[in-house]
């Protein structure tokens, strides 16, 4: 039974191919949902997994803290293990509700990790052959924040022809935002706007899954959720939902190991 810290953490290698047929991939490390917890034996395993890794981009897609986080020690250990590269953070639904959130923001800033909340950044890749510039867009949490969806309409498709990454915490938009934009998921909204890749967490991969059935419940999707873990596509847009690192509410996982996702993205 996969309790956090039991050592069942794994590196999940994923390949995502886009519409441009790019010959050289970008390597993206995608991590989410630590929930302020120590991973126990998994802490040293995570450090071992990440040691020597050289991704182009690192994305932390929220809930690094939760309301019950009492100490920054596990979070600081986590941040110190992150490999170099252009690194970004978007807040989850739990982060801003934690009294330690200002300390997290300072720790991320001290480590050179950029907040990407309702921001759009065009990243040069140095003109390397087969590797175009990339536009990165980060959206605030859909449940407790104020996501600026106009960023998608304003910048996608990019005038420079740059492929785009959209980072946000949850794959679903919640009732309020679904009514507002006419879409139930960030995947369908990003596809409508012409985005290339979406990264999100929140689901914990279901956290407790049943044989032959899979995830029973995910917040925001109710029973038998559809967007749980892995790669999903809509047209030319792909989305990766990570099962994350920690747990929420019930401190256990079953048939749903925590993961660090390393995505080879060919936009």
**42 vs 116 pLDDT, higher one:** 116
The whole-number pLDDT of residue 156 equals 62
The whole-number pLDDT of residue 188 equals 96
- What is the pLDDT confidence band of residue 2, given thresholds at 50, 70 and 90? very low
Least confident of 21-25, 50-54, 194-198: 21-25
State the helix-helix crossing angle for 73-81 and 101-110, rounded to 10 degrees: 20
Own/partner pairs, 99-107, CB within 8 angstroms, 24+ separation: 100/36, 100/65, 100/69, 100/72, 100/75, 101/65, 103/72, 104/64, 104/65, 104/72, 104/75, 107/72, 107/75, 107/76, 107/79
Q: Which CATH class name applies to 10-266?
A: alpha beta
Least confident of 24-33, 87-96, 122-131, 156-165: 122-131
Q: What are the tens digits of pLDDT across the range 209-263?
A: 999 999 999 989 988 999 999 999 999 999 999 999 999 888 889 999 999 999 9
Q: What are the tens digits of pLDDT across the range 154-201?
A: 666 666 678 999 999 999 999 999 999 999 999 999 999 999 999 999
User: Quick check: 205 pLDDT over 50?
Assistant: yes
User: Quick check: 4 pLDDT over 50?
Assistant: no
Domain spans of the chain, in order of start: 10-266
The percent of residues in the chain predicted with pLDDT above 90, rounded, is 76
């Amino acid at each position: 039974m996969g309790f956090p810290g039991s050592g069942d953490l794994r590196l999940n290698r994923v390949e995502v191919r886009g519409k441009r047929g790019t010959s050289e991939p970008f390597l993206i490390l995608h991590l989410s949902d630590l929930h302020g917890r120590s991973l126990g034996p998994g802490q040293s395993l995570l450090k071992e997994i990440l040691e020597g890794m050289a991704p182009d981009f690192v994305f932390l897609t929220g809930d690094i803290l939760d309301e019950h986080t009492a100490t920054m020690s596990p979070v600081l250990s986590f941040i110190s293990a992150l490999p170099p590269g252009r690194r970004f953070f978007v807040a989850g639904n739990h982060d801003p509700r934690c009294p330690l959130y200002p300390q997290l923001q300072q720790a991320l800033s001290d480590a050179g990790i950029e907040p990407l909340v309702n921001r759009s950044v065009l990243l040069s890749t140095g003109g390397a052959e087969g590797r175009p510039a990339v536009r990165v867009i980060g959206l605030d949490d859909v449940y407790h924040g104020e996501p600026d969806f106009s960023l998608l309409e304003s910048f996608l498709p990019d005038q420079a022809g740059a492929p785009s990454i959209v980072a946000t915490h949850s794959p679903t938009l919640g009732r309020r935002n679904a009514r507002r934009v006419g879409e139930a998921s960030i995947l369908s909204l990003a596809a409508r706007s012409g985005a290339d890749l979406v990264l999100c967490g929140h689901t914990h991969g279901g956290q407790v899954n049943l044989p032959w059935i899979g995830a029973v419940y995910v917040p925001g999707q109710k029973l038998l959720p559809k967007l749980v873990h892995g790669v999903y596509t809509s047209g030319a847009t792909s989305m990766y939902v990570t099962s994350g690192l920690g747990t929420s509410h019930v401190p256990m996982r079953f048939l749903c190991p925590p993961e660090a996702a390393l995505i080879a993205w060919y936009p």
